[in-house]
């Protein structure tokens, strides 16, 4: 799986991309893996920031599969995801959300 931010403005809420190769076509599994990879990219973007960047799941698009042959002649099915990011202005990385409550037994 490969990932790449779209450019230097991504931290300001632009877009992220990721791609995934599978030995068989399976849109659901590829989409789940691509969502996770895009989420992981936001961890890197959030390092040392006072705002929190999240993936806007409503903007997620998955393209594919496109069939590609490797050096041994095997077919791999490649999926590519693109999603916009959202900036949570009043959030602190690592802070509990106001909706979460811990109940002691």
Q: CA Rg, the chain, in Å?
A: 17
Q: Report the Cα 9 to chain-centroid distance in Å.
A: 16
Contact between 85 and 60 (Cβ < 8 Å): no
pTM of the model as a whole: 0.70
Q: Report the Cα 7 to chain-centroid distance in Å.
A: 15
Contact between 67 and 76 (Cβ < 8 Å): yes
Sorted by where each begins, the domain ranges of the chain are 2-88
CATH number of 2-88: 3.30.110
Distance, CA of 62 to CA of 85 (rounded, Å): 15
Q: β-strand 75-88 against 15-22: which pairing, if any?
A: antiparallel
pLDDT at 11: 53
Tens of pLDDT, residues 17-35: 999 999 999 999 999 999 9
Q: Lowest mean pLDDT: which of 24-28, 46-50, 66-70?
A: 46-50
Over residues 79-102, the mean pLDDT reads 68
Contact between 38 and 16 (Cβ < 8 Å): yes
């Amino acid at each position: 799986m490969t990932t790449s931010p779209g450019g230097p403005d991504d931290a300001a809420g632009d877009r992220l991309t990721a791609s995934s190769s599978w030995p068989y076509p399976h849109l659901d599994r590829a989409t789940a893996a691509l969502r996770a990879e895009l989420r992981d990219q936001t961890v890197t973007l959030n390092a040392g920031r006072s705002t929190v960047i999240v993936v806007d799941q409503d903007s997620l698009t998955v393209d594919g599969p496109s069939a590609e042959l490797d050096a041994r002649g095997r077919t791999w099915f490649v999926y590519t995801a693109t999603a916009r990011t959202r900036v949570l202005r009043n959030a602190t990385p690592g802070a509990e959300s106001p909706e979460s409550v811990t109940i002691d037994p």
